[in-house]
Chains A and B, each alone.
Chain A
Amino acid sequence: MLERFISVSSEEEALAQLNAHGEELQILAGGTDLMVQLQQSGQRTRRLLHIEKIPGLQKISYNGETGIGALCTHRQIVESTLLAHYRSLRQAAAQVGGWQTQMVGTLGGNICNASPAADTLPPLLVHDARITLVSQARGSRVVDLEKFLLGRRHTDRHHDELVSGITLSQPPERGSDIYIKVGRRSATEVAIVGLAACVALDEHRRLIEDVRLAVCSVGPVPKRLYEIENLIKGQEISDSLLDEAGEMLLELIEPIDDVRASKKYRAMVAPRVLREAITCCAQNASG
């Protein structure tokens, strides 16, 4: 009989377990979401595969591109000097729950939990994150995060697969990025709206050469805002441009009423956050 709690200490062991029992196993990689879900749903019979002891998945590295091991904790990300140019990701990681959850919760866990409100997902999306998955049967594959996120709490991970790492694109030159989280409190909040922006200016630091935008908590799955990016790209920032971007945003998101905030508030605040994010990034990039 399968144990209720299986703790593995190597990737091979994990993949073997997943290969054999993947459909029955829930991967435990920090557990800051999972434990709450188990408690709330009363699913005491769920079998857990504990992977935190697997060596090598806790590293942040640079080998021509920036890689983050799936088991890196949020605090590690906040404090990593290698991620200095991914400010939005560090800002997001610093706002996941509180210190306690940041010490325990992992990036891989946050991604696979695929919460509509996952703080790390908008910054990962604006940095074109790619997810590496491994399985015993088929080896490894790399998927764009955007394609990996299929829906609310639903990803492209197959039952026998393990997310091993995340790679980020090079940060743009003359660029700046930011993550803005809207919440009632300054910590331990589930985002009411979360928005990441990455803006690069042209050589004259006047026109927007590149812009990438992503949001969470305003739809079933965090997503990029390509339409707005296309609107802004090549333009100079102006009030009217930002107004237009804000109006477009309302077409692209599906805010809902929940206990944290009303649909009305989300729709009211999201364009303001967008304006603030783009303005801040452009200001930082110009200096």
Chain B
Amino acid sequence: MSLLGENLVRTDAVGKLTGEARYTVDYDGKDLLHGSLLRSPVPAGLIKAIDTTVAESLPGVRCVITAKDAPDARAGWVLREQALFARKQVRFEGEVIAAVAADTPEQAREAVAAIILDLAETQAVGDMETALAENAPLVHPEWKSYQPVSGEDYPRHGNIASELMADDDAVDVAFENADLIVEDEFTSNRQYQAYIEPKSAVGIYRDGRYTIHTGHQYPFNVRDRVAQYLDVRPSQVRVIGHSIGGGFGGKLDTGLEPYAAILSKFSGGRPVKIVNNRTEDILTCPSRENAVIKMRSALDKQGNLLGRELICHMDNGAYSGEMAFMPSVIFHLAGSVYKVGNIRVIARLVYTNTAPTGAMRGVSGVYFCAFQERHMDHIADELGVDRREYRLRNLVGNGDTLLSGQVLDDADLLRKGFEKMEEAAPWSQLNDNKKPWHGIGICAGTWITNSMPGSVQLILNEDGTVTVVTAATDNGSGAVSMGITQIVAEHFGLPADDIVVTMPDTDVAAYDGGSQGSRTTHIVGRAAGIAADELKGMIFDVASGMLEAGRDDLELVNGQVGVVGYPDSRISLGDIAMTATWTRGPLSASGSYTTAPVPYNPGCASGMLFPFFPTPTYHVHLAEVEVNPVTGNVRVVRYIVVQEVGRVINPAGVRGQIQGAVAQGIGHALYESLRIRDSRYLERSLEAYRLPLAVDMPEVEIITMEHPHALGPFGAKGVGEPAIILAPATVACAVSDAIGRPFNSIPITPEDVLEAIVGKEKQL
């Protein structure tokens, strides 16, 4: 029986339910020390002196370290700009200034409180407008001295951390010839990943090497970053993965790991554990960035799009992390759904004295889609054309190209998505039957399957089971506990119980690009398939000798190899493994995979360009909202997702990812927001940060479109991210429809809604 499309129970379910699962915070031992960090109390300032003498003398304290104890090195994902400890300048509230290791967490915290910090607060650059103003103070006065991690430097200057431009003179012509110009400005605020488990890490320094225990989405990134900070070779750092209490992109770069590592070194090699409290976690999370987009479109009399101009400013916070790539997300998406004519894209990443922003599920695509879709609604309204009809008219199709020149082979799936949606929820019927204070939105989008490399080693054990050695992580998505497990089981005809997947360990497994961008099932699943094919070849070699039959006459069915047509000839994988081990050596095989680059036009843009938009998937969403006219609260009463997935490996897994992504998207659209006042977050606890609750969520109706991808494992593409891409867009369009006023700012709060309602009432 095939396991594909079966709702197998995830392999980590029981452990997580019973409490057996080991998270980093569970790491224990009699010699364990506890770390705590002194963080900058101000968003911008100059350190004049740090006096640690009192702190060092406190009971239980093993070491107190500051910048003078750390290597003079800068680290970063893309740009080497951040030191382990602020040496002279602090650039955001929460930046680490000193670290303490002590026998108990309380002693460590007391020692941190006893460090005497002489710090002169300086003028902070609190927002992008200030940062981009003439003569603005520079967040990094020494920006010119920073080096990119690899390759050539990219356009950046002053408070602009990264800039991407794609220009076309024809855009100006389009606007000159336009019969109608539609213009909008959109803003969106920061979103916290809000995983259940705040960040934590354990560091151990022994025999000249650092070992890190961490529940992390991307262990190899931790390895590389810790190596940069501590100025050692990456192979001198070993990262061991643990169960992860959620990540959503917030655990893709290092957090506490390098501090735990260096504290161990200064504590005689004893393990040091650091655990964020929730406030620390919020203040330093690499949140989804806030952004401002100005979008304007030129149209002819018939409403055809002649051209578009798009200027996007994204708040980088004080350090870049992987943000330097994000302007290119805007660039790719700008031509990915609708034929918009000639287009100009200017995307800038802006330094501010606020917590560094970073990756969160769907990265910059989430707000981009919200703005593009609201803009499409606006154009349709101006033209007096039905919103759905206007989208269909301008939809890209097979053979259309992105701005990079990359050809979209399967873009007709967008139109098919609209058809599927129409079957589930006929548009005109919904509009005709709309109740008062109800609104509907329909949106379309494309999204990527991240191309980063992955690898798998498969070992056939002597008991007939298969061990999967991989650094792929299951951040809760099920990509490993369901996806990879089920894919490997399917290859060998084994039950999922016979597949053992190791936890990530950078000493044991080869490189993996982390649980990001919906990549794990697709990339690592494909690597597993390559390894499985090789291992099966070895199995047939051995079995052919055992069965005295030609290789080509053999088949692998239900974990047994036999001669085709002779059901009695079957021998188990265990017997084959045992024979192999003692005759020719144990059987194992490896597979590696990364999406091959697709052709594109290198001259398409200037700036830090992620060169292609790998393995796109296609999506259509529909939402119906109900507005409470008394309070301005919005409730999403119906939500439908039509999602192209390649191939469903585990329906429950796909469902969980889509439901969860929509929930997180509705959170971004209506509830969640890290607001900044005077360069500091207003929301500093989960009491203040409004995560939506289960009772606030609709049951999402899910329609999957299977369109097996030639290179995906059994055709599977990425599933985890795409459903968040359109959720804020669809909700924003529906709320705008309900009130008859544009909502171009995310989140849409009850205050915004009520203000619009009151404004309308006054007009009447």
B747 closest partner in A (C-beta): A184
Interface residues in A244-278 by Cβ distance below 8 A to B read 259-262, 264-265, 268-269, 272-273, 275-276
B631 closest partner in A (C-beta): A182
A44 closest partner in B (C-beta): B106
A265 to B682, CA, bound (A): 17
Instruction: Choose among B696, B751, B758 the residue that contacts A185 (Cβ–Cβ < 8 A).
Output: B696
- Taking a contact as CB atoms under 8 Å apart, the answer to whether A269 and B693 are in contact is no
Report chain A residues within 8 Å CB of B629.
272
- Taking a contact as CB atoms under 8 Å apart, the answer to whether A259 and B631 are in contact is no
Closest 9 CB pairs of A and B: A265-B751, A259-B688, A184-B690, A272-B630, A276-B630, A186-B695, A182-B631, A185-B693, A186-B696
A185 to B682, CA, bound (A): 18
- Taking a contact as CB atoms under 8 Å apart, the answer to whether A272 and B682 are in contact is no
A264 closest partner in B (C-beta): B751
Interface residues in A209-250 by Cβ distance below 8 A to B read none
Report chain B residues within 8 Å CB of A185.
671, 690, 692-693, 695-696
Task: Tell me whether B633 is interfacial, beta carbon within 8 Å.
Answer: yes
Task: Tell me whether B555 is interfacial, beta carbon within 8 Å.
Answer: no
Report chain B residues within 8 Å CB of A262.
751
Task: Tell me whether B462 is interfacial, beta carbon within 8 Å.
Answer: no
Assuming the contacts A265-B751, A265-B754, A268-B758, asked whether A259 and B695 have C-beta atoms less than 8 A apart, the reply is no
- Taking a contact as CB atoms under 8 Å apart, the answer to whether A272 and B631 are in contact is yes
Task: Tell me whether B493 is interfacial, beta carbon within 8 Å.
Answer: no
Report chain A residues within 8 Å CB of B693.
98, 185-188
- Taking a contact as CB atoms under 8 Å apart, the answer to whether A269 and B631 are in contact is yes
Task: Tell me whether B632 is interfacial, beta carbon within 8 Å.
Answer: yes
A184 to B628, CA, bound (A): 12
Instruction: Choose among A36, A190, A259, A265 the residue that contacts B750 (Cβ–Cβ < 8 A).
Output: A265
Give B571 Cβ to nearest chain A Cβ, in Å.
Answer: 56
A77 to B682, CA, bound (A): 35
16 further contact pairs, Cβ within 8 A, besides A98-B693, A259-B682: A180-B630, A184-B671, A185-B695, A186-B695, A187-B695, A259-B688, A262-B751, A265-B750, A265-B751, A265-B754, A268-B754, A268-B755, A269-B630, A269-B631, A272-B631, A273-B631
C-beta contact mask, B553-567 vs A, less than 8 Å → 1, else 0? 000000000000000
The prevalent SS among residues of B at the interface is loop
C-beta contact mask, B593-629 vs A, less than 8 Å → 1, else 0? 0000000000000000000000000000000000001
Task: Tell me whether B172 is interfacial, beta carbon within 8 Å.
Answer: no
C-beta contact mask, A144-186 vs B, less than 8 Å → 1, else 0? 0000000000000000000000000000000000001010111
Give A118 Cβ to nearest chain B Cβ, in Å.
Answer: 16
Report chain A residues within 8 Å CB of B687.
36, 190
Report chain B residues within 8 Å CB of A259.
682-683, 688
A192 to B457, CA, bound (A): 56
A190 to B690, CA, bound (A): 11
Report chain A residues within 8 Å CB of B749.
184
Interface residues of B, count at CB 8 A: 21
Report chain B residues within 8 Å CB of A273.
630-631
Report chain A residues within 8 Å CB of B630.
180, 269, 272-273, 275-276
Interface residues in B657-693 by Cβ distance below 8 A to A read 671, 682-683, 687-688, 690, 692-693
Report chain B residues within 8 Å CB of A264.
751
- Taking a contact as CB atoms under 8 Å apart, the answer to whether B632 and A269 are in contact is yes
A186 to B693, CA, bound (A): 8
Report chain B residues within 8 Å CB of A180.
630
Report chain A residues within 8 Å CB of B755.
268
Report chain B residues within 8 Å CB of A182.
631, 633, 750
A264 to B632, CA, bound (A): 13
Please name 15 pairs of A and B residues whose Cβ atoms are closer than 8 Å in the assembled complex, sorted by A.
A182-B631, A185-B671, A185-B695, A185-B696, A259-B683, A260-B688, A261-B750, A261-B751, A265-B751, A265-B754, A268-B754, A269-B631, A269-B750, A273-B630, A273-B631
Interface residues in B729-754 by Cβ distance below 8 A to A read 749-751, 754
Report chain A residues within 8 Å CB of B692.
185
C-beta contact mask, B691-703 vs A, less than 8 Å → 1, else 0? 0110110000000
A186 to B750, CA, bound (A): 13
C-beta contact mask, B618-656 vs A, less than 8 Å → 1, else 0? 000000000001111100000000000000000000000
A272 to B692, CA, bound (A): 24
B672 closest partner in A (C-beta): A184
- Taking a contact as CB atoms under 8 Å apart, the answer to whether A184 and B633 are in contact is yes
A265 to B683, CA, bound (A): 18
Report chain B residues within 8 Å CB of A190.
687
Give A215 Cβ to nearest chain B Cβ, in Å.
Answer: 15
Interface residues in A9-42 by Cβ distance below 8 A to B read 36
A233 to B16, CA, bound (A): 59
A44 to B62, CA, bound (A): 25
Report chain B residues within 8 Å CB of A36.
687
Give A242 Cβ to nearest chain B Cβ, in Å.
Answer: 12
Report chain A residues within 8 Å CB of B633.
182, 184
Report chain A residues within 8 Å CB of B751.
261-262, 264-265, 268
Give B695 Cβ to nearest chain A Cβ, in Å.
Answer: 5
Report chain A residues within 8 Å CB of B696.
185-186
A35 to B691, CA, bound (A): 21
Report chain A residues within 8 Å CB of B690.
184-185
Assuming the contacts A259-B682, A259-B683, A268-B758, asked whether A184 and B750 have C-beta atoms less than 8 A apart, the reply is yes
A268 to B750, CA, bound (A): 11
A36 to B686, CA, bound (A): 12
- Taking a contact as CB atoms under 8 Å apart, the answer to whether B754 and A269 are in contact is yes
A182 to B629, CA, bound (A): 12
C-beta contact mask, B750-764 vs A, less than 8 Å → 1, else 0? 110011001000000
A92 to B629, CA, bound (A): 21
Give B675 Cβ to nearest chain A Cβ, in Å.
Answer: 9
Report chain A residues within 8 Å CB of B754.
265, 268-269, 272
B689 closest partner in A (C-beta): A259
A255 to B754, CA, bound (A): 17
Give A52 Cβ to nearest chain B Cβ, in Å.
Answer: 24
Report chain B residues within 8 Å CB of A188.
693
Determine which residue in A264, A268, A275 has the highest number of CB atoms from chain B within 10 A of its CB, and name it.
Answer: A268
B697 closest partner in A (C-beta): A186
A252 to B688, CA, bound (A): 27
